[in-house]
Amino acid sequence: MRASDRAYRTLRDEIVRWELRPGTVLAEVEQAARLGVSRTPLREALSRLAADGLVAAHAGRGLVVTAMSADDIRNLFEVRRALDEQAARLAAQRADDEVFSELESAFERAPELLRGDDPDRDAYYELVARFDAALDDAVQNPYLVGAMKQLRTHLVRIRRLAIDDLPRLRAGAAEHLLIVRAIRAGDGELAAHATHVHLHNALQHALAHAVPPETPAAKDAGTARVPEQAPAGPYVTERHRTERIAL
């Protein structure tokens, strides 16, 4: 692996896991020494992170890790809703039923992963990644897939805000199961509706959780954020049954 790729992946992972907090200054000399690379590949890595929107230039400080505000989360979900709902419609028309049959069985078993005193969160996140990959393959549209993949970099940061929230993970598993079943049924509008409900609940949950504390640099820059209270979730109505999808 090239030095610039290694530096990029390390920094990206640290940012999305909130190990590098919003406002952290990424000084070239310090980061190059820490990562064991020269400054040229580090600059390449930082340029890629800037293109991803994970770092940005700040007057007088250089490159800093970008903040994740409530408005940022809302804006990301506006785009995500448009992309994912259309992807669900297309998947209902084009998906390999065998692949989604296996996913249906896996999501039916998902509660077992999230049960007890030692839930296997990593296994559940791997299952969600399998779903994302299957959806990407099913839509058969490289432009749509490219847009969704770019967005997921930021969505991983949002998911990490509530990584220990088991009730939300369990509800998310049930919501994914409804999406998979709608895709298997070939009902594009039902798949899009189930996706809409899932994204609404995920957004409200994200807004209800505080963004992790920022560094002094971020606070000095005026990027400190205050958590917001989430309203109640939607109801699935008409032919989709009258039942609330739990947050």
- If asked whether residues 157 and 191 sit together in one domain, one would say yes
From residue 87, give the alpha-carbon distance in Å to each of 82, 107, 174.
9, 19, 19
Number of domains in the chain: 2
Domain that holds residue 9: 3-65
- If asked whether residues 108 and 217 sit together in one domain, one would say yes
Residue with tokens 């920022």: 214
- If asked whether residues 24 and 112 sit together in one domain, one would say no
- If asked whether residues 59 and 115 sit together in one domain, one would say no
- If asked whether residues 145 and 51 sit together in one domain, one would say no
pTM of the model: 0.76
Residue 65 β-bridge partners = 55
Specify the long-range contacts of residues 171-175, CB closer than 8 Å, at least 24 apart: 171/201, 171/245, 171/246, 171/247, 172/128, 172/198, 172/201, 172/202, 173/107, 173/110, 173/111, 173/114, 173/124, 174/245, 174/246, 175/201, 175/245
Per-residue pLDDT of the chain (247 residues; tens, 9 = 90+): 899 999 999 999 999 888 999 999 999 999 999 999 999 999 999 999 999 889 999 887 789 999 888 898 999 999 999 999 999 999 999 999 999 999 999 999 999 999 988 899 889 989 999 999 999 999 999 999 999 998 988 888 887 766 668 899 999 999 999 999 999 999 999 999 999 999 999 999 988 875 554 444 444 433 333 333 333 333 333 333 323 223 3
